[in-house]
Amino acid sequence: MKLPPFKLERYFARYEFNTEFLLCSSDCEAMSIADLLALEEGTVERFHGHWLGYTESLGSPTLRKEIAAMYATTTPGDVLVFAGANEAIYLFMMAALKENDHIIVHAPHYQSLSEVAKGIGCMVSPWRAREENGWALDLNELRHLMRPSTKAVIVNLPHNPTGFLMPRADFDALNKFAQENNLLLFSDEVYRESEYDLADRLPAAVDYGPHAVSLGVTSKTYGLAGLRIGWLATRNRELYEKIASLKDYTTICNSAPSEFLAEVAMRHRMKLVNRNLAIIKHNLAIVDDLFSHHPSLFSWHRPKAGSMGFPKLLQGDVESFCDELVMKAGVLLLPGSVYDDTHNHFRLGLGRKNLPQAAERLEGYLTNLNLNRTL
């Protein structure tokens, strides 16, 4: 299988570790191992004594028990643990799809959600989020995208990069549609539990039935990307077994220290969620303020969940804007072109503690830009 470069990851490869301010990160602020272990008494000694042999391929039973408890209907036997969410996406597609299958994918999207399927030889139709509608998805459009060969619908809710969250009635209807049409629903839920208003939280897709697969990870809402622990939850036994057996060709099993730490994190995940939501909400107020100073330069749909938004640059070309900003001011934004967006959007990250300083640097840069224009 041939896979093209992952545009977003290649962009980060150029800048992530040499730029002062990352103002487009998708994950929330991370923490140290010491801070994580401080959440539970006795874990420091247990971590030091943790065995460094191979681990169980499906994921450690105690970690899977913690993950299964996040959902209403799952048991540890419905959960499979991977090295991050990206491995889970890859293996789901390898197991579920074959050449000439058709899939429908929420767009714009994190590239692997369509690219792996294309690599397998599938046809991919984008199901486009409509900015004029607050980045909503229209279920009537989904009906029109259907073909006899449609095998799966892929959605990402809360959405990277717009922060869109589908209304509950639409998500119910989407699940019903998938069930009635014998489709798999792959629901990338890596930003779940980061809803700004708890009332907006959607049920996990896995809890609707065996047509669905829910994807989760420690990286985003919980701010622990360095653990590289992601998971799939599904009550579809056949699919579960196929994915489990393909994992023998990628990572075989997960990192033992990471599984230990992920288990602690999941047991205390509400503390991590509250810490990270406080950072996001503080940052949102600063960003709202910044955009309100520049109404002719930016348009901005406030996200409903997650650690990012997708504002639009109203003047000039977004790629050059981002290039100049990172070179001259040391602030990294992510041009929408890495998502194949052609409407001058860029991704703005909301989950990092140093956003206030990054926003100040951006504001200074914009002021300078205006001064130079008027001179």
> According to the binding rule CB under 6 A, does residue 160 interact with ligand PLP?
yes
The 3 state secondary structure assigned to 225-262 is: HHHCCEEEEECCHHHHHHHHHHHHHCCCCCCHHHHHHH
Give the length of the chain: 375
User: Pick from 33, 27, 28, 71: which is nearest to 264 by CA?
Assistant: 33
CA distances from 243 to 99, 182, 189, 236, 255 (A): 17, 19, 18, 11, 18
Taking CB under 6 A as the binding criterion, the range among 217-225, 243-251, 312-320, 322-330 that sits at the site for ligand PLP is 217-225
Q: Which two tokens stand for residue 195?
A: 């809803």
Interface residue with ligand PLP among 36, 85, 129, 265 (CB under 6 A) is 85
- Pick 88 or 329: Cβ nearer ligand PLP: 88
Q: Is the peptide bond before 76 cis (omega within 30 degrees of 0)?
A: no
Q: Which two tokens stand for residue 12?
A: 């980060």
Amino acid (1-letter code) at residue 289: D
Closest distance to ligand PLP from the beta carbon of 363 (Å): 27
Interface residue with ligand PLP among 59, 76, 84, 335 (CB under 6 A) is 84
Residue 231 and residue 316 in contact, taking contact as beta carbons nearer than 8 Å: no
Phi and psi dihedrals of 293, rounded to 5? -80, -15
- Pick 262 or 358: Cβ nearer ligand PLP: 262
Closest distance to ligand PLP from the beta carbon of 37 (Å): 21
Residue number of the CB closest to ligand PLP reads: 84
- Pick 101 or 188: Cβ nearer ligand PLP: 188
Q: Residues binding ligand PLP: what is the number (CB under 6 A)? A: 13
- Pick 89 or 279: Cβ nearer ligand PLP: 89
> According to the binding rule CB under 6 A, does residue 309 interact with ligand PLP?
no
Taking CB under 6 A as the binding criterion, the range among 39-47, 78-86, 316-324, 340-348 that sits at the site for ligand PLP is 78-86
Interface residue with ligand PLP among 217, 224, 333, 362 (CB under 6 A) is 217
Interaction with ligand PLP in 226-255: which residues (CB under 6 A)? 230
Interaction with ligand PLP in 163-182: which residues (CB under 6 A)? none
- Pick 156 or 214: Cβ nearer ligand PLP: 156
- Pick 36 or 225: Cβ nearer ligand PLP: 225
> According to the binding rule CB under 6 A, does residue 110 interact with ligand PLP?
yes
Residue 71 and residue 206 in contact, taking contact as beta carbons nearer than 8 Å: yes
Q: Which two tokens stand for residue 139?
A: 């279920």
Kind and range of the H or E run holding 212: strand 212-217
Closest distance to ligand PLP from the beta carbon of 261 (Å): 14
- CA-to-CA distance for 359 and 300, rounded, in angstroms? 15
- CA-to-CA distance for 95 and 83, rounded, in angstroms? 17
Q: Which two tokens stand for residue 331?
A: 């602030």
> According to the binding rule CB under 6 A, does residue 219 interact with ligand PLP?
yes
User: Pick from 202, 104, 223, 90: which is nearest to 157 by CA?
Assistant: 202
Residues at the interface with ligand PLP (CB under 6 A): 26, 84-86, 110, 156, 160, 188, 190, 217, 219, 225, 230
